[in-house]
A and B are shown apart, each in its own frame.
Chain A
Amino acid sequence: MKNNHYIGEGWKHAVLIIGALVVLLPFYMVVSISLKSQQEIQSISGGLIGAQEVQTFPVCTKMGMSEETCTMKPYVYNYWFAFKKAPIARYLLNGLFVTVSIFLIQVLIALPCAYALSKLRFYGREFIFSMVLFCLLIPVHAIALPLYVMLAKIGLVDTYAALIIPWTISVFGIFLMRQFFMTVPDELIDAARMDGMGEYSIVWKVMLPTAIPALLAFAIFSVVAHWNDYFWPRIVITGNRDLFTPPLGIREFRGGVDSDEFGPMMASIVTITVPLVVAFIIAQKRFIEGITMTGMK
């Protein structure tokens, strides 16, 4: 009986390890290519990191740099050239700026609304709540085209504003916060009013601190979604490289599998994917909790 158990456990691990290998395969591929030289990539040799032989890179000398500066190990070259070819740091900062702005505006608008919907009584409250429930059904990506037409009409295409505006209203955030505020006892708010606090300070000084766990979950949900979003930036940013978000930066690098140098391209992918993946691995418990919480509502 006991033996059986161990055999069962072994089988489970065997299945899961095969699954894990399939899941990790593209990650391995990216990291490996970002370290190896072009010849090793094309002949699929050299294992994970390649032989790392010092060599002179012709693409680099063609750009007018001396032979000396262009002689280095493949992994150094790949990452050096990736940063040389595109303003990756700028892309990352753009990504950070856009995601943080989106999140802050979402909270600024959703939190007071959620408070009013859960704790204040006023004419039309039920109507507004059903409006929120209806809007929950609308995926913003699906209405990208009319939004694009509207932004084009007011001349906002190719601006930071275009990247941020469609996401300023998060009905999902309102819904999540409202559900959370429903569990906050009315006595807490009444006590605050007794102390002479106005409704504004109640929202930001009483309700906000109680909502930290829900806010954190929402922050993870929001930041992950918008850091990784490719569709919307692809539509509204048409050519201005200064506004590129990380996914657009990756896209720019991929000049076509058959034309470009693959090492630097994969190095740029690694650089751009790493921040979120590392954040996830460090705080994975919070991430998974956050995603489940926002997922399950």
Chain B
Amino acid sequence: MHYSRAHIWFVGPAVLLMFVILIFPILLAGGISFTNYNLGNPSFDWIGLENYDKMFSRKTYIKMIWATATYVLIVVPFSVVIGLCAAMLLNSLRFGADIYKTIFFLPVMATLLAMAIAWEFTLHPTMGLVNSFLANGCGGMREFVLGFHWLPWVNSNASWYHIACENNNDFPFWLKDRGYAIWTVCFIGVWQAFGFNMVLYLAGLTSIPRELYHAAEMDGAKSTWEQFKLVTWPMLGPTTLFVITITTIRSFQVFDTIEVLTKGGPSKSTYVMMYAIFEKAIQQNLTSIGAAITVVFIAFVILLTFFQRYVIEKRVHY
């Protein structure tokens, strides 16, 4: 260690920027959320908790919280589990793993906005490959598999697939239908995110010592499932924790797909928080309510990360 005055010039700019760009805006958002300030207005009044009151009572914002929660609670578990399964499958392959890895990682690299538009076309009711694939499969193998006719309790004349075929190929308008839009957007979210989780899990898997599997075998854990339960899953604890946290934070911030595909609709079914901030504060110039949403949003994210870092972390490390 060394004493010098150089540190002032080394840490000075960073500290200043941290304060101006990261910490001050939080305080500013907090301040604005207690006013009726709108960007461009010369003056404002303090209105206390009115903005927060609106947020937790008006229908629009209740829907916003629902949509955000649905998105996060679907995308996180699915992308984590699929990521883990893909990693384990790839890890056990004899050949070809690298090709799959590249393919599964492509959505992580590609501009999400562009891919959202690509999905819009893929899922388009008349021009999309998905619905034409479904329509061409009426009465055939596809109907049998995707209509779940192979399950003994499904009446093959009453399955969703069969009904759609009967009604002149009335397959879902994936992004325009209130009943489907949020699930479609979630699907795109999972499609985009699981490759990232897979890569993190692959790194986690390679760091598990081989000896542990031998030891587990000695102890009688013969089947793959038992070995997974006894060795793989516990050893991946820290990876899983990290993967869940980062996917959650990213899912909270979903915006690109919503803005370009649904604009929060139909009837606010995909009205997630980031889009709400954008629409209210930037497009409609309702700065103060946007600030209130921002504050709630930041509180969520910070609490969540804090919880991960200091509470659970202690339990998963060996």
Residues on A close to B: CB < 8 A? 9, 12-13, 15-16, 19-20, 22-30, 33, 41-42, 44, 109-110, 112-113, 115-117, 119-122, 125, 128, 131-132, 135-150, 152, 165-166, 168-169, 171, 174, 186, 189-190, 193, 198-200, 203, 224, 227-228, 230-231, 234-235, 246-247, 250-251, 254, 257, 262, 265-266, 269, 272-273, 276-277, 280-281, 284, 287-288, 291-292, 295-296
Q: Does B18 lie within 8 Å of A141, measured CB to CB?
A: no
Rounded to whole angstroms, the CA-CA distance of A26 and B112 in the bound complex is 11
Contact partner of A284 (CB less than 8 A), chosen from B4, B102, B249, is: B102
Q: Does A122 lie within 8 Å of B7, measured CB to CB?
A: yes
Contact partner of A27 (CB less than 8 A), chosen from B9, B106, B117, B281, is: B106
Interchain Cβ contacts under 8 Å between A and B, 9 examples: A41-B127, A121-B1, A135-B23, A140-B22, A147-B25, A148-B282, A193-B2, A257-B120, A273-B111
Q: Which residues of B contact A113 (CB under 8 A)?
A: 10-11, 13-15
Q: Does A149 lie within 8 Å of B21, measured CB to CB?
A: no
Rounded to whole angstroms, the CA-CA distance of A44 and B118 in the bound complex is 15
Give the Cβ gap from A158 to chain B, nearest Cβ, in Å. Answer: 13
Most chain A beta-carbon contacts within 10 A, residue among B3, B127, B274, B290 = B127
Q: Which residues of B contact A19 (CB under 8 A)?
A: 86, 100, 104
Q: Does A29 lie within 8 Å of B129, measured CB to CB?
A: yes
**Cβ of B218 under 8 Å from chain A:** no
Give the Cβ gap from B237 to chain A, nearest Cβ, in Å. Answer: 14
Binds A, one of B53-61, B89-97, B158-166, B226-234: B89-97
Rounded to whole angstroms, the CA-CA distance of A166 and B24 in the bound complex is 12
Give the Cβ gap from B98 to chain A, nearest Cβ, in Å. Answer: 8
Give the Cβ gap from B127 to chain A, nearest Cβ, in Å. Answer: 6
Rounded to whole angstroms, the CA-CA distance of A16 and B93 in the bound complex is 10
Contact partner of A174 (CB less than 8 A), chosen from B14, B107, B246, B290, is: B14
Q: Does B113 lie within 8 Å of A230, measured CB to CB?
A: yes
**Cβ of B101 under 8 Å from chain A:** yes
Known contacts: A26-B122, A296-B200. The answer to whether A132 contacts B18 by CB under 8 A is yes
Residues on B close to A: CB < 8 A? 1-4, 6-7, 9-11, 13-15, 17-18, 21-26, 28-29, 32, 39, 86, 89-90, 92-94, 96, 100-115, 117-122, 124, 126-130, 132, 191, 195-196, 199-200, 203, 239, 242, 246, 249, 253, 255-256, 259-260, 274, 277-278, 281-282, 287, 290-291, 294, 297-298, 301-302, 305-306
Q: Does B6 lie within 8 Å of A166, measured CB to CB?
A: no
Q: Does B256 lie within 8 Å of A231, measured CB to CB?
A: yes
**8 additional contacts (CB under 8 A) given A9-B94, A269-B114, A273-B114:** A26-B119, A29-B118, A143-B294, A146-B28, A150-B24, A150-B28, A277-B110, A287-B105
Which residue in chain B gives the minimum CB-CB distance to A186?
A: B1
Q: Does B25 lie within 8 Å of A146, measured CB to CB?
A: yes
Q: Does A15 lie within 8 Å of B14, measured CB to CB?
A: no
Q: Does B21 lie within 8 Å of A23, measured CB to CB?
A: no
Rounded to whole angstroms, the CA-CA distance of A135 and B101 in the bound complex is 33
Most chain A beta-carbon contacts within 10 A, residue among B6, B32, B128 = B6
Give the Cβ gap from B16 to chain A, nearest Cβ, in Å. Answer: 9
Q: Which residues of B contact A228 (CB under 8 A)?
A: 110-113
Which residue in chain A gives the minimum CB-CB distance to B111?
A: A228
Q: Which residues of B contact A251 (CB under 8 A)?
A: 113, 260
Which residue in chain A gives the minimum CB-CB distance to B120?
A: A257
Rounded to whole angstroms, the CA-CA distance of A152 and B96 in the bound complex is 52
Q: Does A44 lie within 8 Å of B114, measured CB to CB?
A: no
Q: Which residues of A contact B200 (CB under 8 A)?
A: 292, 295-296
Rounded to whole angstroms, the CA-CA distance of A116 and B104 in the bound complex is 40
Q: Does A26 lie within 8 Å of B115, measured CB to CB?
A: yes
Give the Cβ gap from A15 to chain B, nearest Cβ, in Å. Answer: 7
Q: Which residues of A contact B281 (CB under 8 A)?
A: 145, 148
Q: Does A23 lie within 8 Å of B107, measured CB to CB?
A: yes
Give the Cβ gap from A195 to chain B, nearest Cβ, in Å. Answer: 14
Q: Does A254 lie within 8 Å of B117, measured CB to CB?
A: yes
Contact partner of A147 (CB less than 8 A), chosen from B21, B120, B128, B242, is: B21
Rounded to whole angstroms, the CA-CA distance of A139 and B301 in the bound complex is 8
Known contacts: A29-B121, A281-B102, A296-B203. The answer to whether A276 contacts B253 by CB under 8 A is no
Q: Which residues of A contact B18 (CB under 8 A)?
A: 131-132, 135, 169, 171
Q: Does A137 lie within 8 Å of B301, measured CB to CB?
A: yes
Known contacts: A138-B298, A284-B105. The answer to whether A291 contacts B196 by CB under 8 A is yes
Give the Cβ gap from B117 to chain A, nearest Cβ, in Å. Answer: 6
Q: Does B26 lie within 8 Å of A119, measured CB to CB?
A: no
Q: Which residues of B contact A41 (CB under 8 A)?
A: 127
Contact partner of A145 (CB less than 8 A), chosen from B9, B128, B294, is: B294
Q: Does B111 lie within 8 Å of A246, measured CB to CB?
A: yes
Q: Does A169 lie within 8 Å of B294, measured CB to CB?
A: no
Q: Which residues of B contact A276 (CB under 8 A)?
A: 109-111
